[in-house]
Amino acid sequence: MTAGTVLSLHPAVDELDRLLTQAAEPSGPFAAASLIDLDRQEAFPADACRLLDDFGLHTYYVPAQYGGRLADFAESMRLTRAVAARDLTVAIAHGKTFLGAVSVWLGGRPQQAAWLGAEVCAGAVVSWGLTERHHGSDLFAGELAAVRTGSGWRLSGEKWLINNATRGDLVCVLARTSPTGGPRGFSMFLVDKRRLPADRYRHLDKVYTHGIRGADISGIAFDDAEIPATALVGGVGDGLAITLRALQLTRTACAALSLGAADQALRLAVDFVRGRRLAGRPLAELPPMRRLLGEAAATLLLAEATSLLASRSINALTAEMNVTAAITKAFVPSQVQEMLDTFAEIIGGSGFTAGQPIEEAFEKVHRDHPIVGIFDGSTLVSKNALINQFPRLARSYQDGSPLPWDEAGLREAATVDGHVTEFDPARLSLLSAQGCSVVQALPAAAARLSEQAGTGEVPVGLARMADQLRAAVVGLQRELAEYVPTARDVPAAAFELARRYELCFAGAACVHLWLHNATALRAAVPRDEPTAALWRDGLWLRAALARVLDQLGARRERADLAVHDRLAEQLLRHADDRRPFSLLPGPAAVSA
Amino acid sequence: MAAPTAPVQPIGELERRLGDPWDPANPVGFAAVVAADEQARPLAAGEHILDEYGFGAELVPAEYGGRLTRLDRLIEVMRAVYRRDPALGTGYAAGSLRAAMPVWTAGTAQQRRAVADLLLHNGRISAPLHEPAYGGPTGPAIEAVSDGTGLVLNGRTGPMTGLGRAAALVLPVRTESALGDHPHAQVLIGPAVAATGMHQLPALRTAGVRAVTLGAVQFRDCRVGLDRVLGWPQAGLRIPSTPFLLADPSRLADTVLAAMAVAIVDTGLRTTVRHVTTRKLYGKADVDLPYIRSVLVSAFVDLLVCDAFVTVAARAAHVAPAALDTLAPAVQHALSVRLANTMRQLSVVLGAHFYIREGDRSIFQKLLRDLMPASLGHAGRLSCELAILPHLPGLAGWKATGEPAPPELFRLDADLPPLPQPTPLTGHLPDQLTAALTNCLDTGSGGNAEELRQVRGLAEHFGLELAGIALAAADLPEQETKSMAGPATHELATRYITVLMAGVCVGLWQEEQHRPGSFLADPSWLAAALTRLAAASPAQPAALPEGVEQRLLAELLDRYESARALGVLDTPLAGR
């Protein structure tokens, strides 16, 4: 057995995790009590961000070709998750720079991108100015305008509810460049605040929020601010196209925030049930509580599998990212939010948190997390984006059979330690030409799982579940084929179809991950590793598929539900471990 | 010796005094409420209004000079407060409510008169709000040991509000053998009693109801006389003039506070309607988007269903007080699951506006934080299920004799019996509620034939569901009705609660046939309610037939425009 690439999948992630564990000691910048205190004061977590800078996390927001370390999106998402698992405010405050800069990576001139890359690697904070006070997420209604001048442009207007608008050194601003607006009526500008005269811009007041209270959520107003011609990103009129492509990356990346929140919540829940009692017994012993823990763990693994496949798809299935990103953004935060709400009744029900570290920490993450389902394309906006793809997705199946898909891309996306194709922004598109490989490949994957059940490699129950999923997909595709798109008034039924499509995608992602990794991982991970138990007998796959089938309304087998109890057992057994509960082996798995 | 009677205030007087919540200049409007929450200080103007209104009289039985005669009436009055500010309700009313109930149910005439006097003069009393649902470390543990002539108290109370202003405390204590056969008792301690050995603990912080200062009391060898024990020496049978006072006092308080969740979510839905009728996304007002409409209608149906359940439970306390032992946990469970989910769904519609603590949607995030601590947080779904489990094996044995629940349960404007009726079916009242499901087939002549057909089909579905539960429960071994019961058994309990709710909705609708043309007589709401209850999970908006959804949306928007409550009673409200 070798300690090879499988075990130490992303050394940087392991290193960051170790660093954060250390920093969580009582006087460190990630100490729980101090983070809660900062939240109470609505103060920015500067020390924590500085620690991340010292680690060099900001260099992962810059592509390698522009001087940074961003190459493998799965790696960068795992880094974000590691931070979010400690504190969501910090993860969001620090990670915003990626969102601020990504428009330039996708649409900027090479010199512009290289320049920005150097600035970010030197510590510059970049913000993204998209939304405005009266228009919410309707970018077509944006009023902030850029007018051409002799030497460049003049900006007038406000962007509001912007993360790091005040802290940021630079801000990428979407501005109206044609009075009549429309798809070609907007352009993107990289504004260097440090070069602006002080009387030509001002910061808008901090907006006080329900959660992530210490974050800098504010705004910026430009009063005839002159910016050079070189501030333009891409061409005039490219603004919306750049934004939509950028959102394909950022919406996928948001999943990492949800995973981190789920990590926190699960850890807190385990601590809680071990320490409290009901009806004369430790909570952890009560069967429905175990079931609940197991279901939550299954939800986390389902969300992780979806996110993992989605993150690797950025490199491997780039052309399908408009579908993948919409699904990921709609699905993962919602699943995690439900898990948090379930725990909230148990941990936070009485509302009395004072002096109780578990209740206090949980209460914070419960307030923090909903922002992930709101910003960067809310859950409803993301579902609408998926619904807009229905006609094309409907055509990806004919008479119950899928059309050809990108098998090579899917194989790479699903193999956790596989080769990482260099990311090519030019392959991002606004329409997925071939549909959704993950879902199209599901019938074939279910058949392979059946074969494995036939040879005893996996339990028969697993093959049955995969087949139920396949039937669900075929049924869904049939309904998609009958769905008549409307330009306005999207019917409520379409949202239900979207919900089912997300679930089918997530379930299929699980099956693909299993097929491409089970053999290698089971061979490489030591038996007593917590991760090993998840892969043994397909435990994690069974639990994740049970969550999917349950939400699809499929008939439930008692044996499938009991799998959750085994997961709970694993959770409780390794509770003192403090390692994230994950499909991927953690740092301790690295042999000397 | 009758105490002087406080003048009866019509329902709505308190609402009138609280005024238009949306008026930014109103010192008890939402803007003021949120501002007080931001600073974690009580809404002084609100307390002043409650003082002037003489709220204390609402908690005092009529026979002692107050206005307390009916539980559902008390709920209506308190809802005016909780619709506005749950923290005001928690700080001003909840403590006194929890403290007063045991006094009326168990106290001596002298004790009751003393407490009545306090409350009628705007005094406050306090009791521990509740034990943490899942065995938190702040559970009450006051031991009382006899020293021959009195009790010596040691230990600590659970969280309590208003300690600084309480004129009396009602505290549960563990008496073991100190009082003969009673292992538990309540003691009534006033400031006149020597307070040596009693001191307050530092104030606790909360996430919700931030304006409420919580404290606890620590006793060290504190001596109290035996006359401080509620009901001493006759802690025995009494026949109160108001039958609901035969019920377990904590169940009474639980039911009233659970009903406040409906008020809180009423404001949540109202705020969301306000948002979607003024905002535009992609060029249309949000309220014109079909998906948004389905979420709003689902929320309205959730309120109707939950309100029906808790209102009938409150009325059931009069008819069969012991039934509250099963109904109260059922109500807490149902409302906890459904209304928390309702607020989450509404927050998705509000989007970023739910997350911002400014502007006129900012009341929403406060309500979201207040909901559990103010009304349901202490219940604990698991405890509620455990309370219901012992009831399940008997379901199969109870024959649907066709004897329905007493109609006055469902006739919301009807008076309730003034004297307790000895009824052999007392223990089966919850089951009588489901009898309406089978009786439904004969009801309803008016209304859309298609909807009636739907209603009957759904009622039949629930009838079958009940039979299925009864069958599964009949074979439960005894340990499956106790703390180690498995998840499948717990699921039987939650399914049973849903069947109860279905029965209540049908019963209510049947009774409303006496008022044809009213909203509740129309089968639309019932079809929607039963559809929602029959859904696998409340997490998705209900998939309702077009006509039903339209009828409900029209009713919701009409009530919003004309400022009427969003429950089974469309109580007139102040402002818009």
Backbone angles phi, psi at B280, to 5 degrees: -125, 135
**Cβ–Cβ < 8 Å for B377, A350:** yes
Contacts of A320 (CB under 8 A, 6+ apart): A313, A406, A409, A432, A434, A435, A436, A437
As beta bridge partners, residue A189 has A173, A232
- Residue B427 pLDDT more than 60? no
Check residue B540 and give its pLDDT. 85
3-state secondary structure string across A520-584: HHHHHCCCCCHHHHHHHHHHHHHHHHHHHHHHCCCCCCHHHHHHHHHHHHHHHHCHHHCCCCCCC
**Cβ–Cβ < 8 Å for B178, B145:** yes
pLDDT confidence tier of residue B471, bands split at 50, 70 and 90: very high
**Cβ–Cβ < 8 Å for B314, B335:** no
Inspect the interface and report whether the beta carbons of B484 and A344 lie closer than 8 Å.
no
User: What one-character DSSP code corresponds to residue A376?
Assistant: S
- Residue A584 pLDDT more than 50? yes
Amino acid (1-letter code) at residue A454: G
Check residue B425 and give its pLDDT. 47
Q: Is any Cβ of chain B less than 8 angstroms from the Cβ of A488? A: yes
Inspect the interface and report whether the beta carbons of B132 and A289 lie closer than 8 Å.
no
**Cβ–Cβ < 8 Å for A275, A267:** no
Inspect the interface and report whether the beta carbons of A210 and B356 lie closer than 8 Å.
yes
Residues from chain A contacting residue B281 (CB–CB below 8 Å): 136-138
Check residue A375 and give its pLDDT. 94
Distance of CA B14 to the CA centre of its chain: 19
pLDDT confidence tier of residue B184, bands split at 50, 70 and 90: confident
Residues from chain B contacting residue A346 (CB–CB below 8 Å): 133-134, 380, 382
Q: Is any Cβ of chain B less than 8 angstroms from the Cβ of A296? A: no
Comparing A224-233, A238-247, A498-507, B216-225, the range with the smallest average pLDDT is: B216-225
- Residue A564 pLDDT more than 80? yes
Amino acid (1-letter code) at residue B439: N
Q: Please report how the helices A321-347 and A357-368 are oriented relative to each other, as an axis angle in degrees rounded to 10.
A: 150
Q: Is any Cβ of chain A less than 8 angstroms from the Cβ of B357? A: yes
State the CATH class of domain A126-237.
mainly beta
Which tokens in the block code for residue B176? 């073991």
Amino acid (1-letter code) at residue A57: L
Angle, CA of A476, A262 and B346, to the nearest 5°: 65
For chain A, positions 323-352, list CB contacts with chain B under 8 A.
337-338, 341, 344-352
Query: Å from B69 to nearest chain A CA?
Result: 29
**β pairing state of B124-126 and A277-278:** unpaired
Q: Is any Cβ of chain B less than 8 angstroms from the Cβ of A36? A: no
Contacts of A518 (CB under 8 A, 6+ apart): A535, A538
Of A278, A379, A493, the CB nearest to B134: A278
Find the helix or strand (DSSP H, E) in which B344 lies: helix B324-350
For chain A, positions 190-229, list CB contacts with chain B under 8 A.
207-211
For chain B, positions 155-184, list CB contacts with chain A under 8 A.
159
Which tokens in the block code for residue B517? 């043309």
- Digit-coded pLDDT (tens) for A120-156: 999 999 999 999 998 888 899 999 999 999 999 999 9
As beta bridge partners, residue B285 has B280
Which tokens in the block code for residue A413? 């996306």
Query: Å from B279 to nearest chain A CA?
Result: 9
- Residue B415 pLDDT more than 90? no
Inspect the interface and report whether the beta carbons of A287 and B485 lie closer than 8 Å.
yes
**What average pLDDT does this structure show over B529-544?**
90
Average pLDDT over all residues of chain A: 93
First-to-last alpha carbon distance for chain B, in angstroms, is 45
Q: Where are the domains of chain A?
A: 3-121, 126-237, 243-576
Of B192 and B469, more confident: B469
Q: Is any Cβ of chain A less than 8 angstroms from the Cβ of B139? A: no
Query: Å from B221 to nearest chain A CA?
Result: 26
**Which residue is it, tokens 């990492």?**
A256
User: What one-character DSSP code corresponds to residue B374?
Assistant: I
- Residue A76 pLDDT more than 60? yes
CA–CA gap between residue B313 and residue A277 (Å, rounded): 29
Inspect the interface and report whether the beta carbons of B291 and A490 lie closer than 8 Å.
yes
Look at residues A419, A312, A366 and name the one whose alpha carbon lies nearest to residue A78.
Answer: A312
pLDDT confidence tier of residue B132, bands split at 50, 70 and 90: low
Cα dihedral sign for B373, B302, A500, B347?
negative
Minimum CA–CA partner of B288 in chain A: A489
Inspect the interface and report whether the beta carbons of B204 and A374 lie closer than 8 Å.
no
- Residue B9 pLDDT more than 50? no
Residues from chain A contacting residue B485 (CB–CB below 8 Å): 287-288
Check residue B227 and give its pLDDT. 86
- Digit-coded pLDDT (tens) for A399-425: 889 999 999 999 999 999 989 999 999
User: How far is residue B182 from each of residues A93, B98, B141, B235, measured CA to CA in Å?
Assistant: 58, 21, 16, 9
3-state secondary structure string across B377-442: CCCCHHHHHHHHHHHHHHHCCCCCCCCCCCHHHCCCCCCCCCCCCCCCCHHHHHHHHHHHHHHHHH
Q: Is any Cβ of chain A less than 8 angstroms from the Cβ of B285? A: no
Residues from chain A contacting residue B352 (CB–CB below 8 Å): 136, 161, 374-375, 378
Helix (H, G, I), strand (E, B) or coil at A280: coil
Of A43 and A577, more confident: A43
- Residue A2 pLDDT more than 70? no
**What average pLDDT does this structure show over A482-490?**
84
Residues from chain A contacting residue B350 (CB–CB below 8 Å): none
Check residue A569 and give its pLDDT. 93
**What average pLDDT does this structure show over A234-263?**
97
- Let me know how long chain A is: 592
**What average pLDDT does this structure show over B271-300?**
86
Of A161, A363, A490, the CB nearest to B290: A490
Q: Is any Cβ of chain A less than 8 angstroms from the Cβ of B502? A: no
Find the helix or strand (DSSP H, E) in which A102 lies: helix A88-107
Query: Å from B208 to nearest chain A CA?
Result: 6
Residues from chain A contacting residue B138 (CB–CB below 8 Å): 352
**Which residue is it, tokens 């409550």?**
B565
Task: Please report the domains of chain B, with CATH numbers, ordered by start residue.
Answer: 13-123 (1.10.540.10), 143-228 (2.40.110.10), 249-561 (no CATH)
Which tokens in the block code for residue A32? 């729980």
Cα dihedral sign for B47, B52, B53, B56?
positive
Inspect the interface and report whether the beta carbons of B484 and A287 lie closer than 8 Å.
yes
Just give the CATH number of A243-576: 1.20.140.10
Query: Å from A284 to nearest chain B CA?
Result: 11
- Residue B521 pLDDT more than 80? yes
Check residue A94 and give its pLDDT. 98
pTM of the model: 0.95
Inspect the interface and report whether the beta carbons of A352 and B381 lie closer than 8 Å.
no
pLDDT confidence tier of residue B422, bands split at 50, 70 and 90: very low
Of A352, A380, A551, the CB nearest to B132: A352
**For B175, how many CA atoms within 13 A lie in the half-sphere containing its CB?**
21
Residues from chain A contacting residue B376 (CB–CB below 8 Å): 349
| Whole-complex ipTM | 0.95
Check residue A480 and give its pLDDT. 95
**What average pLDDT does this structure show over B284-302?**
91
pLDDT confidence tier of residue A592, bands split at 50, 70 and 90: very low
Interface test with A, best of B134, B156, B381 (most A CBs within 10 A): B134
CA–CA gap between residue A58 and residue B5 (Å, rounded): 72
**For A298, how many CA atoms within 13 A lie in the half-sphere containing its CB?**
31
Q: Is any Cβ of chain A less than 8 angstroms from the Cβ of B13? A: no
- Digit-coded pLDDT (tens) for A97-118: 999 999 999 999 999 999 999 9
Check residue B6 and give its pLDDT. 44
Of B80 and B404, more confident: B80
Just give the CATH number of A3-121: 1.10.540.10
- Residue A199 pLDDT more than 90? yes
pLDDT confidence tier of residue B159, bands split at 50, 70 and 90: confident
User: What one-character DSSP code corresponds to residue B3?
Assistant: P
Helix (H, G, I), strand (E, B) or coil at B19: coil
Q: Is any Cβ of chain A less than 8 angstroms from the Cβ of B485? A: yes
Which tokens in the block code for residue A431? 């329409």
CA–CA gap between residue A280 and residue A357 (Å, rounded): 23
**What average pLDDT does this structure show over A162-186?**
97
Check residue B555 and give its pLDDT. 97
Comparing A456-465, B150-159, B471-480, the range with the smallest average pLDDT is: B150-159
**What average pLDDT does this structure show over A274-301?**
93
Dmax (CA) for chain A in angstroms is 79
Check residue A348 and give its pLDDT. 76
pLDDT confidence tier of residue B8, bands split at 50, 70 and 90: very low
User: How far is residue A368 from each of residues A88, A382, B359, measured CA to CA in Å?
Assistant: 7, 20, 20
As beta bridge partners, residue A159 has A220
CA–CA gap between residue A389 and residue B194 (Å, rounded): 75
Which tokens in the block code for residue A399? 């008479």
Comparing A383-397, B53-67, B108-122, B227-241, the range with the smallest average pLDDT is: B227-241
**β pairing state of B124-126 and B166-174:** parallel
Which tokens in the block code for residue B16? 């009138």
Residues from chain B contacting residue A280 (CB–CB below 8 Å): 483
Cis omega before residue A526 (within 30°)? Answer: no
CA–CA gap between residue A420 and residue B394 (Å, rounded): 62
> Exposed, middle or buried, A462 (CB in 10 Å: 0-12/13-18/19+)?
buried
Q: What percent of chain A has pLDDT over 70?
A: 96
Inspect the interface and report whether the beta carbons of A379 and B282 lie closer than 8 Å.
no
**β pairing state of A232-233 and A217-228:** unpaired
Of A209, A345, A558, the CB nearest to B381: A345
Residues from chain A contacting residue B130 (CB–CB below 8 Å): 350
Q: Secondary structure of chain B: what % helix, strand, coil (to 5)?
A: 55, 10, 35
Minimum CA–CA partner of A348 in chain B: B377
Q: Is any Cβ of chain B less than 8 angstroms from the Cβ of A367? A: yes
Check residue A4 and give its pLDDT. 41
CA–CA gap between residue A252 and residue A258 (Å, rounded): 11
Residues from chain A contacting residue B344 (CB–CB below 8 Å): 337, 341
- Let me know how long chain B is: 576
User: What one-character DSSP code corresponds to residue B150?
Assistant: E
Residues from chain B contacting residue A209 (CB–CB below 8 Å): 355-357
Inspect the interface and report whether the beta carbons of A370 and B347 lie closer than 8 Å.
yes
Residues from chain B contacting residue A136 (CB–CB below 8 Å): 279, 281, 351-352
Q: What percent of chain A has pLDDT over 90?
A: 85
- Digit-coded pLDDT (tens) for B188-222: 887 654 456 667 777 777 778 888 888 888 888 88
Of B206, B294, B487, the CB nearest to A287: B487
Check residue B11 and give its pLDDT. 57
Check residue B139 and give its pLDDT. 44
- Residue A1 pLDDT more than 50? no
Query: Å from A62 to nearest chain B CA?
Result: 29
Check residue B395 and give its pLDDT. 84
Check residue B281 and give its pLDDT. 58
- Residue A589 pLDDT more than 50? no
Highest mean pLDDT (candidates A181-195, A511-525, B510-524):
A181-195
Check residue B1 and give its pLDDT. 36
Backbone angles phi, psi at A484, to 5 degrees: -100, 115
**For B30, how many CA atoms within 13 A lie in the half-sphere containing its CB?**
24
Of B351, B365, B386, the CB nearest to A279: B386
DSSP-assigned states of every residue in A187-241: EEEEEEGGGS-GGGEEEEPPPPBSSSTTS-EEEEEEEEEEEEGGGEESSTT-HHH
Query: Å from B492 to nearest chain A CA?
Result: 12
User: What one-character DSSP code corresponds to residue B70?
Assistant: -
Helix (H, G, I), strand (E, B) or coil at A103: helix
Check residue B550 and give its pLDDT. 95
- Digit-coded pLDDT (tens) for B546-567: 999 999 999 999 999 999 999 9
Comparing A305-314, B238-247, B397-406, B501-510, the range with the smallest average pLDDT is: B397-406
Interface test with B, best of A274, A290, A350 (most B CBs within 10 A): A350
Interface test with B, best of A352, A486, A502 (most B CBs within 10 A): A352
CA–CA gap between residue B542 and residue B533 (Å, rounded): 9
Cis omega before residue B249 (within 30°)? Answer: no
